A and B are shown apart, each in its own frame.
Chain A
Amino acid sequence: MRVPMTLSLSKDTVLVEKEQDVVFLKNRVKEVAVKIKMGLVNQTRLLTAASELVRNMMRYANGGKCHIEVVSSGRVNGVRLTFIDRGPGIPDIAAAMRDGFSTGKSLGLGLPGTKRLVNEFDIKSKVGEGTTVTILKWANG
C-alpha cells in the first residue's frame, strides 16, 4: 500500500473494555473529526468505520485500545485510527475481507465495508497474538 508522507499532529489513546466505552470512543472520534473540519458525510463514514472496528474488537477480542491521531500530509488533514487488540487473531485475512464472510452470525460486511468507507486501510493479524487495524480518513477524501 502506498504510504504518503504524513505528519502526526496529535495523538490520543482510548481504552475500550466495556460497552460504555464504545460510545465514548465514538464521541472522541467525532470531536477530532469536527476539529479538523471534516465534512458531514466523511464524518459519518469515519464514525461508521470506527463503529464497525470497535464492535469487532469488543465481540471477538473482548476489548482493546484505540489510538486517535490527527495527521497531516501538508495540505490536508485527516484522522488516523489504530485499533489494537490482544484477541485470537484472524487466521485467514483474505477471507475476512470478503463480503458476506463472518465467523460470528453477522452480515459479514464489517471489514470489507470499513475498507470502502475510508481512504486507507491496513490490517495485520497473528493467530493467538491479536489484530491491529489502521484506518485513515482525509478531511476531504
Chain B
Amino acid sequence: MLQKKKKTILELWMKNQLADEGLREDLISNDELRSQSEELVDSLVGNLSLESSIDVDSDAWSPVVEILGGIAITRARQGFSPRETGNFIFSLKEALLEVLQQEFAGDLQTLFTESLKINRIMDALSVVTFETFIKGREEVILRQTDEIAEISTPVIRVWNGILALPIIGTLDSARTQIVMENLLQEIVETGSSIAILDISGVPAVDSLVAQHLIKTVSATRLMGAECIISGIRPEIAQTVVHLGIDLSNIITKASLASALAHAFKVMRLEVRKVGTVQK
C-alpha cells in the first residue's frame, strides 16, 4: 500500500521540510535535500511494505539505518543544529502519519494499529539519528583536540644549537608525551646542546606537571643536551616550594631572556653592541 503512496509521502515530507523555518538553505541545497529524502523514503517504504519486523536493530533494517546514519553524520559535520536534524526526521513521521490518515479514514482500528507501528519505527529511527549525529559531533571535537595538541607544542630554533619550547596550557600526560617526543626528535635533527622549556603559559604547576617536567629534563640530559626551564612566575615559585617539589637540580630561570643569556654563556657566546670592543 505504502509503496504506491511513496510519491505522496515524499511530496508531503518535502513540503513539511520546506515549510519549516529552520530550513538551512545555506548548508544544503533544496535539490540535495530532495535526493537525500528520496533515498531515505525509498529504502524506508521498501522495508515497511515488506511487513518485516518492526525491530530496527534487525538486519532487515540495516540499509535504512545506514542511510540515516550517513545523513546524520554529514549533517553533524556541516554544522546543523540538533533541532534541525530532529525536525528532519520528525517531519517524515508526520508525512507518513498523514498518508495513513487519508488511507484509513474509515477504518479507525487499522489506522490506530498502523499509526502505532509507524510511531514505534520512527521513534527508534530518531534515536539512531541522534546517536549518529552526536557521534559525528564528537568526532569533530576529537579531531580538534588532536589539532590543538599538535599546534600547541612547537619547537623553535632560537640559535644554532639552542632550542626553545614554549608550553601553553596545562601539561597532562598525553601532552608531555608529545612535548618530549618533539623535543627529543628536534635535538637529534638539529644537534642542539641546549633546550629551553618555557612554562610562562602554564597556569599552575602541580606535582604531576612537575613530575612531567623532571622526566622531560632527564630524558633531554640522556640525549646529551642540557635543559633549562624558564618562565617561572613568582606565584608559581611559591606554590612549588609549598608543595615540596625539589627542582634544585634543574637549571631554572625567571624569563626566556635570562635562559637564553645563560645558554649563550654556556656556549661561550657573547652578545655585543656593534662597535664596542671587548675589554
Task: Using CB atoms and an 8 Å cutoff, list the residues of chain A in contact with chain B.
Answer: 19, 22-23, 26, 30, 40-41, 43-45, 47-48, 51-52, 55, 99, 106-107, 109-110, 112-114, 116-117
Task: Tell which of A23, A26, A43, A109 has the most Cβ of chain B within 10 Å.
Answer: A109
| Contact across chains for A48 and B205 when beta carbons are under 8 A apart | yes
- The reply to whether B210 and A40 form a contact with Cβ atoms under 8 Å apart is no
Give the complex CA separation of A40 and B236 in angstroms. 10
Residue of B nearest to A49 (CB): B206
- Indicate if B208 sits at the interface (CB-CB under 8 A): yes
| 3 closest residue pairs by CB, A with B | A113-B243, A44-B235, A51-B206
Report the contact-size class of chain B (Cβ under 8 Å from the partner): 10 to 19
The reply to whether A41 and B245 form a contact with Cβ atoms under 8 Å apart is no
- A99, B211: Cβ atoms closer than 8 Å: no
Inter-chain residue pair count (beta carbon < 8 A): 70
**Is B242 within 8 A of A45, CB to CB?**
yes
10 contacts between A and B (CB under 8 A): A22-B172, A23-B170, A41-B239, A44-B203, A45-B242, A51-B208, A107-B210, A109-B243, A109-B244, A117-B242
**Given A23-B170, A44-B236: A106 touches B242 (CB 8 Å cut-off):** no
Min CB gap A104→B, angstroms: 10
Query: Knowing that A40-B235, A47-B204, A55-B206 are A-B contacts, what are 4 other residue pairs whose CB atoms are under 8 Å apart, sorted by A's residue number?
Result: A26-B170, A48-B205, A51-B206, A117-B242
User: Is there an interface contact between A106 and B238, defined as CB atoms closer than 8 Å?
Assistant: no
Question: Are A113's CB and B204's CB within 8 A?
Answer: no
Task: Decide if B235 touches A99 in the complex (CB within 8 Å).
Answer: no
Q: Separation in Å of the B3 CB from the closest CB of chain A? A: 47
Residue of B170, B234, B235, B239 with highest tally of chain A CB at under 10 A: B239
Residue B207 lies at the interface, judged by CB distance under 8 Å to chain A: yes
Check B211 against A113 for contact (C-beta < 8 Å).
Answer: no
Instruction: Decide if B170 touches A41 in the complex (CB within 8 Å).
Output: no
- Chain B: CB-nearest residue to A23: B170
Residue of B nearest to A51 (CB): B206
Q: Tell me whether B235 and A41 are in contact (CB under 8 A).
A: yes
